[in-house]
Amino acid sequence: MPRMRLDKLLSHLNCGSRKEVQAMIRAGRVSVDGAPETDPAAKVDPDTACVVLDGQVQGYRAQRYYMLNKPAGVITASRDARHDTVLGLFPEAERRGLFAVGRLDKDTEGLPIITDDGALSHALMSPARHVSKVYEAVVEGVLARDAAEQFQKGLVLRDGTVCLPARLEILAEGAQTQVRVTLREGKYHQVKRMVAAVGGAVVQLRRVQLGGLVLDPELPAGAFRELTGDELALLRQPGADLG
Ligand code: URA
């Protein structure tokens, strides 16, 4: 679709008369692709722009975006004959077209995004984009003293796989160690294999952040909620990661 004026788009989307939406835009209530836009004449592409009014995404195509607090024991595949899947946590009427962005292990908890937006999924998972993923893990065993440096330099796993530089933070030490791991890639069992390479064994793993999107701490295990407009804009920003 050709680009069109922001005020025209919002009034087509029934957000108000042309005059009313112009006042809303000038009052700073509208953002486009995550940045405030106060010019009613600004040109946007209605197919691709993320236009947010008062925190709500506006658009012709009502695509769906959810954050899920995945419990252990369900798999992120959309369909499976033997295992419970993340889509099984959604009411049947809402499942059509939805899928999880990326994969988490069956025993991993925390944040996948569930959507029907293939383009966003592709952008977030593209290896070239290096979108950050943050995990918290409970670890058993004794980690090498220089584990954080090894992560920082780019670990070589036991099978010779070379990892991109990553961050390892020790959150608490005791009988078990709690760590936070930040990756910019998503190799198979990556956190578990990286921790194993520095002497530990992951006994619990939870993804708490994807790009700029943080898992809502109020969301109970097994529950989902729609992303707010601001959260969606965070995901859509190019390079929306931890820097
Ligand atoms: N790393 C893992 O080891 N497992 C996951 O589920 C995600 C990252």
pLDDT, tens digit (0-9, with 9 covering 90-100), for 193-240: 999 999 999 999 999 999 999 999 999 999 999 998 889 888 887 554
- Per-residue pLDDT, 50: 82
pLDDT, tens digit (0-9, with 9 covering 90-100), for 23-82: 999 999 999 888 899 999 999 988 778 888 998 888 766 688 999 999 999 999 888 889
Query: What φ, ψ does residue 110 adopt, rounded to 5°?
Result: 100, -145
What CA–CA distance (Å, rounded) separates 37 from 35? 6
The protein residue with its alpha carbon nearest to ligand 1, atom 4, reads 189
Q: Which pairs count as long-range contacts for 164-169, CB under 8 Å and 24+ apart, including other chains?
A: 164/130, 166/194, 168/194, 168/198
What CA–CA distance (Å, rounded) separates 166 from 152? 5
Rounded to 5 degrees, what angle do the CA atoms 182, 184, 186 make? 100
- Per-residue pLDDT, 233: 85
The protein residue with its alpha carbon nearest to ligand 1, atom 2, reads 189
**Residue 3 burial by Cβ neighbours in a 10 Å radius (0-12, 13-18, 19+):** middle
Structure tokens at 225: 């909620």
Residues shown for the chain: 243
Out of 7, 39, 54, 105, pick the active-site residue: 105
pLDDT, tens digit (0-9, with 9 covering 90-100), for 85-111: 999 999 988 888 899 998 999 999 999
What CA–CA distance (Å, rounded) separates 27 from 131? 33
pTM value is: 0.77
> With contact defined as beta carbons under 8 Å apart, do 202 and 191 qualify?
yes
The protein residue with its alpha carbon nearest to ligand 1, atom 7, reads 104
Nearest to 134 by CA among 241, 207, 221: 207
> In 10 A of CB 54, how many CB atoms?
10
What CA–CA distance (Å, rounded) separates 241 from 209? 9
189 Cα nearest atom in ligand 1: 3
- Per-residue pLDDT, 216: 97
What CA–CA distance (Å, rounded) separates 52 from 106? 35
**b (16+ CB within 10 A) / e for 74-89:** bbbeeeeeeeebbbeb
pLDDT, tens digit (0-9, with 9 covering 90-100), for 134-176: 999 999 999 999 999 999 999 999 899 999 999 999 999 989 9
135 Cα nearest atom in ligand 1: 8
202 Cα nearest atom in ligand 1: 3
Nearest to 98 by CA among 81, 83, 113, 84: 113
